[in-house]
């Protein structure tokens, strides 16, 4: 272990991990295409795309070039009272891509902050005329980030509600849709909206795929029904597309599976192709007008809002995505997961196997031993980060057929070892 690696073990926090008794972490020296080059000399296929972000893989010439071009002009400048072309061109590009009703863009610095901003927009929307509408309604098993507003709408059991009870805003939850039973979840949502709609500002959902709250997929019909209910009971619909956006589920945005439009949409993660932290909140003109109805403005403004480097690389990433056969690439990954992971279904300890777009999930009956599984997967040439009962992958879209086969094979083998 190098000196800096042992310093890491003594001083540096890693996500959701002990700083005093740290689990192993693996040093990465560089990354190219869909591969991470570990400091110990191993080259492994990254099945995580760095937590869904690196859709084009690593060290992408077009993205590197966009950053070096921008850095020679300016790395950063405040967005209060100033503006710049990368941000405005990115806003334009996003508005071309997202559903038509979204017309205004707020740039935030991470997914969690985008969720905070979206919640704030929804609350400020009702404040001037119906201040009683200040609660958020959502479904269980959701995940929207780690800041306080975002945590308040994460799953109340697997989220961090027990740790911070008394400190989180109290929101409303209904059952998450499950297979054909989605109608019961929709009925429960309707009943809460009917009785408490006067208190509810917005419904927030991850469309079609609930990610970090359990990698659950649900029927587009549920989302269509939620859109109708929001209209009927005068509640805004916020769609958190931070994990699903930019093609991950097989559509550019997951809401397209249902053919519906949100009032507010959050984007992040793959927005910059995984190069830099940037998020965007998009809102309809009606939302923007409502926010300002009482003579107020949206009260948010991060220091690194619309960072020019991040906006430049986001523009380059979107151009690269649009000029690539991304939809075929994602479809190819879905087919490989569907066929390849199916053989696990009968394995001891497996509860379910599912795939959608470039997402493949093996759900076990019991929580998995993460360090042991990671060690075994690395020996097979693959990097994954399982959690709870889930061994899942969401690789860069550009991985080769051989890398995809290696990934699927390693997942199947590791499940048989469990």
Task: Give catalytic residues, as residue numbers.
Answer: 16, 143, 240, 269
Residues 55-74 that bind ligand PMP (CB under 6 A): none
Which residue sits closest to ligand PMP, CB atoms considered? 111
Contact 145, 115 (CB under 8 A): yes
336 to 58, 341, 381, 388, 400: CA distances (angstroms)? 22, 8, 18, 24, 12
Q: What's the distance, Cα to Cα, between the start and end of the chain in Å? A: 29
Q: With respect to ligand PMP, which residue has the nearer C-beta, 142 or 340?
A: 142
CB-based contacts of 408, cutoff 8 Å, min separation 6: 336, 337, 340, 341, 360
Residues 179-208 that bind ligand PMP (CB under 6 A): 206
**110 binds ligand PMP per the rule CB under 6 A:** yes
Q: With respect to ligand PMP, which residue has the nearer C-beta, 190 or 363?
A: 363
SS3 412: helix
| Segment lying near ligand PMP (by CB under 6 A), choices 132-140, 143-151, 197-205, 379-387 | 143-151
Least separation in angstroms between CB 413 and ligand PMP: 27
Say if residue 24 is exposed, middle or buried (CB neighbours under 10 Å; 0-12, 13-18, 19+).
exposed
**240 binds ligand PMP per the rule CB under 6 A:** yes
Q: Count Cβ neighbours within 10 Å for each residue of 164-195 and write b for 16 or more, e otherwise.
A: eeeebeebbbbbbbeeeebeebbeebbebbee
**155 binds ligand PMP per the rule CB under 6 A:** no
Least separation in angstroms between CB 139 and ligand PMP: 13
Binding track over 266-305 against ligand PMP, x by CB under 6 A: --x-------------------------------------
Q: With respect to ligand PMP, which residue has the nearer C-beta, 153 or 408?
A: 153
Residues 210-229 that bind ligand PMP (CB under 6 A): 211-212
Contact 311, 90 (CB under 8 A): yes
Instruction: Please report the sign of the dihedral spanned by the C-alpha atoms of residue 97, residue 102, residue 105, residue 111.
Output: negative
Binding residue for ligand PMP, selected from 79, 107, 125, 143, defined by CB under 6 A: 143
Least separation in angstroms between CB 385 and ligand PMP: 12
Contact 94, 268 (CB under 8 A): no
Please name the residue that has the structure tokens 């998995």: 368
Which residues face 267 on adjacent strands?
A: 280
| Segment lying near ligand PMP (by CB under 6 A), choices 132-140, 235-243, 247-255, 334-342 | 235-243
**112 binds ligand PMP per the rule CB under 6 A:** yes
Binding residue for ligand PMP, selected from 115, 229, 313, 415, defined by CB under 6 A: 115
Q: With respect to ligand PMP, which residue has the nearer C-beta, 223 or 242?
A: 242
**140 binds ligand PMP per the rule CB under 6 A:** no
SS3 257: helix
**145 binds ligand PMP per the rule CB under 6 A:** yes
Contact 304, 87 (CB under 8 A): no
Contact 150, 159 (CB under 8 A): no
Residue 133: φ, ψ to 5°: -90, 90
Least separation in angstroms between CB 242 and ligand PMP: 4
Angle at 329 between CA 325 and CA 330, to 5 degrees: 120
Q: With respect to ligand PMP, which residue has the nearer C-beta, 140 or 144?
A: 144
Q: 264-267 and 279-284 as β-strands: parallel, antiparallel, unpaired?
A: antiparallel
| Segment lying near ligand PMP (by CB under 6 A), choices 18-26, 236-244, 310-318, 363-371 | 236-244
Q: How many residues bind ligand PMP (CB under 6 A)?
A: 14
Q: With respect to ligand PMP, which residue has the nearer C-beta, 258 or 336?
A: 258
Binding residue for ligand PMP, selected from 242, 310, 399, 406, defined by CB under 6 A: 242
Interface ranges with ligand PMP (CB under 6 A): 110-112, 115, 143-145, 206, 211-212, 240, 242-243, 268
């Amino acid at each position: 272990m190098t000196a800096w690696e042992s310093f890491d073990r003594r001083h540096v926090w890693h996500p959701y991990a002990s700083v005093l008794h740290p689990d192993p972490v693996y040093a990465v020296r560089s990354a190219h295409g869909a591969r991470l080059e570990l400091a110990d000399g191993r080259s492994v296929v990254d099945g995580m795309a760095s937590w869904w972000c690196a859709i084009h893989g690593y060290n992408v010439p077009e993205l590197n070039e966009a950053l070096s071009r921008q850095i020679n002009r300016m790395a950063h400048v405040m967005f209060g009272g100033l503006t710049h072309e990368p941000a405005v061109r990115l806003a334009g590009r996003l508005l071309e891509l997202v559903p038509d009703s979204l017309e205004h863009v707020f740039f935030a610095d991470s997914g969690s902050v985008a969720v905070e901003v979206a919640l704030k927009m929804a609350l400020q929307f009702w404040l001037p005329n119906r201040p009683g509408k200040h609660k958020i309604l959502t479904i269980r098993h959701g995940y929207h980030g780690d800041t306080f507003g975002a945590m308040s709408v994460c799953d109340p059991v697997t989220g961090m509600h027990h740790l911070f009870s008394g400190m989180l805003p109290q929101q409303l939850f209904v059952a998450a849709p499950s297979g054909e039973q989605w109608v019961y979840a929709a009925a429960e949502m309707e009943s809460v909206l009917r009785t408490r709609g006067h208190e509810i500002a917005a419904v927030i959902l991850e469309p079609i795929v609930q990610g970090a709250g359990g990698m659950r997929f649900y029927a587009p019909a549920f989302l269509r029904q939620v859109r109708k209910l929001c209209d009927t009971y005068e509640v805004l619909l916020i769609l958190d597309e931070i994990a699903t956006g930019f093609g991950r589920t097989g559509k550019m945005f997951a809401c397209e599976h249902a053919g519906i439009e949100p009032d507010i949409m959050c984007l992040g993660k793959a927005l910059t192709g995984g190069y830099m932290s940037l998020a965007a909140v998009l809102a309809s003109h009606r939302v923007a007008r409502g926010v300002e109805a009482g003579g107020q403005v949206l009260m948010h403004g991060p220091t690194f809002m619309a960072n020019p480097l991040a906006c430049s690389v986001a523009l380059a990433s979107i151009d690269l995505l649009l000029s690539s056969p991304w939809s075929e690439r994602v479809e190819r990954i879905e087919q490989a997961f569907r066929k390849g992971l199916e053989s696990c279904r009968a394995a001891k300890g497996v509860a379910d196997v599912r795939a959608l777009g470039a997402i493949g999930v093996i759900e076990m009956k019991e929580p998995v031993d993460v360090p042991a599984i990671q060690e075994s997967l690395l020996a097979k040439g693959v990097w994954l980060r399982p959690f709870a009962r889930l061994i899942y992958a969401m690789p860069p879209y550009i991985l080769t057929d051989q890398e995809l086969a290696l990934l699927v094979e390693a997942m199947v083998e590791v499940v048989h070892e469990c």
